[in-house]
Amino acid sequence: MRRKALVMAVGFVLVALVASAQGKTDFSGTWKLNVDKSDFGPVAGPAAQTDVIEQTGQAMRINVTAATGQGSLQYVMEFTADGKEVTIPPDAPLAHPDADVVLQSIAAAWDGSSLVVHEKLTYQEAPVAGVSHYTLSPDGKVLTISSDYASEMGDASRTFIFEKQDSSSGTTAATAAHASPSPAVPSAPAAVSVTVAGDPPATPNLSGTWVLDAAKSDFGPVPPPDSRTDTIEDKEPSIKIAVNQTGGPMGSSSFTLDLVADGKNVTTSTVMGNEAKSTAHWDGNSLVVNTQVGAQGNTATLASTYTLSADGATLTVVRTFSGPMGDAQQKLVFKKK
């Protein structure tokens, strides 16, 4: 199952988490993301996104349609909010039943004409705290969502700039400043419901020509090759990895792994004259390839984990060997050509 990166997944959904407020800004309308004016921080943002927000009192319905370089995502969120922290049931995931990101609780409150949303999430079971500020421009045409996230994996900040695409009625920040607050209306406890449609969240696409950076790599107990270039064609779920290596303790070699990233299909390749059987699957945003190679009556296993950097320019492959000669681990760092 494809998965998407944490900050991209959170960025999609934060647009939808707006609490109602009597006499406060109304975010109703069709909002189109301005990719050029937005700042996605350390993780690539969507190629396009449109949110349709329907705000009626404390009731909110948001229809999100987003596109990335690897696929599309569409889902609907409907909820009410009263400013209190609301615990989300475990079976109501952030964006998709198999996503790595799970929303645990939301608390929203008004700060003047801006809405502040606090969230507690988990990413691959690690806790993440997020706070987002929703601000409407005085003319009601621009919605800015500034978000900060903190976790044991590090901090990240993102700013999404949306432009209004229709003339939906509603109170803008400018008119809200002159509006008299309406009396508070008691409401039922806040709730969140999620309906997902379209393609599943996308994993990173590993396609490209990758050149080994020997200086940044760690080959463990064996000398490095003179050069190595991996050419990857990532056409999910099919992934082809063509390896061209010169020099090194085993001499020059070229081979191709034809993989199916579903964790089930076993593919057969020839590696340096020996038969190799491989399976592949996604673990979060990393591709894991397990290979067994038979040679001279012995069997060696190789587990390789491919991880793409946030900017898409560096591919790190951690390889763990196990065989009759013992165990070893290597870290190969590739730069995109």
Instruction: Determine the average pLDDT of the residues in 191-217.
Output: 72
288 in Cβ contact with 304 (< 8 Å) = yes
- CATH classification of the domain holding 129: 2.40.128.20
Same domain assignment for residues 112 and 239: no
- Which pLDDT tens digit goes with each residue over 261-305? 988 888 888 887 788 899 999 988 899 999 988 766 778 888 999
Please tell me which residue, 310 or 9, carries the higher pLDDT value.
310
Q: How confident is the model at residue 71 (pLDDT cuts 50, 70, 90)?
A: low
Q: HSE-up of 205 (CA within 13 Å, CB side)? A: 13
Please state the φ and ψ torsions of residue 336, each to the nearest 5 degrees.
Answer: -75, 130
29: number of Cβ within 10 Å: 23
- Which pLDDT tens digit goes with each residue over 11-56? 544 444 433 334 567 878 898 999 999 998 876 778 888 988 887 7
Locus of tokens 């591919």: 315
Same domain assignment for residues 53 and 85: yes
Same domain assignment for residues 163 and 220: no
Question: Model pTM?
Answer: 0.46
- Tokens at residue 177, please? 């400043």
Domain count, the chain: 2
Q: What pLDDT was estimated at residue 4?
A: 45
Q: What pLDDT was estimated at residue 68?
A: 64
Same domain assignment for residues 190 and 95: yes
Same domain assignment for residues 157 and 113: yes
Same domain assignment for residues 329 and 309: yes
Tell which of 144, 174, 197 closes a domain: 197
Please tell me the distance from the alpha carbon of residue 123 to that of residue 100, in angstroms, as a whole number.
5
Residue 310 included in any domain: yes
Residue 150 included in any domain: yes
Residue 90 included in any domain: yes
Residue 1 included in any domain: no
Q: What pLDDT was estimated at residue 76?
A: 66
Same domain assignment for residues 89 and 192: yes
Please tell me the distance from the alpha carbon of residue 319 to that of residue 210, in angstroms, as a whole number.
16
Same domain assignment for residues 139 and 225: no
Residue 202 included in any domain: no
Instruction: Determine the average pLDDT of the residues in 91-114.
Output: 62
Q: What is the DSSP string of 28-70?
A: -EEEEE-TTT-B-TTS---SEEEEEEEEETTEEEEEEEEE-SS
First to last CA, the chain: 28
- State the residue range of the domain holding 234: 208-336
Tell which of 197, 221, 252 closes a domain: 197
Tell which of 197, 216, 243 closes a domain: 197
Same domain assignment for residues 189 and 262: no
212 in Cβ contact with 219 (< 8 Å) = no
8 in Cβ contact with 204 (< 8 Å) = no
Residue 203 included in any domain: no
Among 1-5, 17-21, 71-75, 193-197, top mean pLDDT goes to: 71-75
Residue 43 included in any domain: yes
Same domain assignment for residues 231 and 163: no
Please tell me the distance from the alpha carbon of residue 294 to that of residue 329, in angstroms, as a whole number.
19
Residue 266 included in any domain: yes
Same domain assignment for residues 228 and 151: no
Query: What type of residue is 79?
Result: F
Same domain assignment for residues 242 and 282: yes
Please tell me the distance from the alpha carbon of residue 122 to that of residue 127, in angstroms, as a whole number.
4
Q: Name the residue among 164, 168, 143 with its Cα closest to residue 55.
A: 168
